[in-house]
Amino acid sequence: MVGKLMNVYRSLHHGIQMLCLVLICSLLACKQTATCYEPQNVALRGGFYYYDVDQKLTDTLLENAVLIFGEGNNYFQQLKQNNRFSFPLSQSKDTVSFVFQADSSSTASDQLDTLQLSYNRELTFISTACGFQHFFQLQGITYSKHVIDSVIIFTPAITNDINKQHLQIVLKD
């Protein structure tokens, strides 16, 4: 009986130790829920291309171009020796416009193209800490053709997957 009671007390003691450990872990876990760890960057991603002599799509580095976007066109993305771009779409509208300026040093109208994207929005729950984000489904694109030859919607679904390219902008050679 004494031996068993000793075992009982030992077990209870281990139980209390374990309980303390679990309490500390759960308090830490509670703190972690306040931080958003899931990827939230739901952005349109694209690249610049041209048709080579065999009419094959080949990517091209831009010397010194600029993308202008955002509410009131007050955001700029400089594309220097670069052929990739990304920017977020509006979470409250179903269309956005942005401007492609082929040469940042020139504001001549023949160096500018305006593009208008239309899309559907799907409200998606990310997590308690991150809240909601809209995912998008591209519906269409209209654009002027000063320096742009054509635009291809490559992947219509825009999610928080950063490895997908959604638009291919083909420039005139």
Partner 1 sequence: MLCCLLVCISSQAFAQVEDSLSTTSQKPTKVKFKPFTYFRVGTDITKWVADIAQQKYFTFEVQADATFRKNLYLATELGYANSKVQNEVLAFDANNIFLSFGVDKTILHKEQESDFDNAFIGIRYGMSLVNRSAANYVIQDPVWGNTSGTIVARNFFAHWLELNAGFRLEVKKNIFAGWNVRFRTFINPDNFKQLPPAYLAGYGRADKNTAMGYNFYILYGFGKR
Residues that bind partner 1 (CB under 8 A): 1, 4-5, 8-9, 11-12, 15-16, 18-19, 22-23, 26-27, 29-30, 33-34, 36, 69-71, 75, 87-93, 96, 123, 125, 127-134
- Go through 82-101 and write b for each residue having 16 or more CB atoms within 10 A of its CB, e for each that does not: ebebbbbbbeeeeebebebb
Nearer to partner 1, 27 or 53 (CB): 27
Q: How far is the CB of 138 from partner 1 (least distance, A)?
A: 16
- Provide the CA 134 distance to its chain's centre, in angstroms: 11
Nearer to partner 1, 33 or 165 (CB): 33
Strands 84-88 and 75-79: unpaired
Q: How far is the CB of 133 from partner 1 (least distance, A)?
A: 6
Nearer to partner 1, 41 or 106 (CB): 41
User: 154: how many CB neighbours lie within 10 A of its CB?
Assistant: 14
Instruction: Write the single-letter amino acid at 160.
Output: N
Residue 60 has φ and ψ, to the nearest 5°, of -135, 140
Q: How far is the CB of 57 from partner 1 (least distance, A)?
A: 29
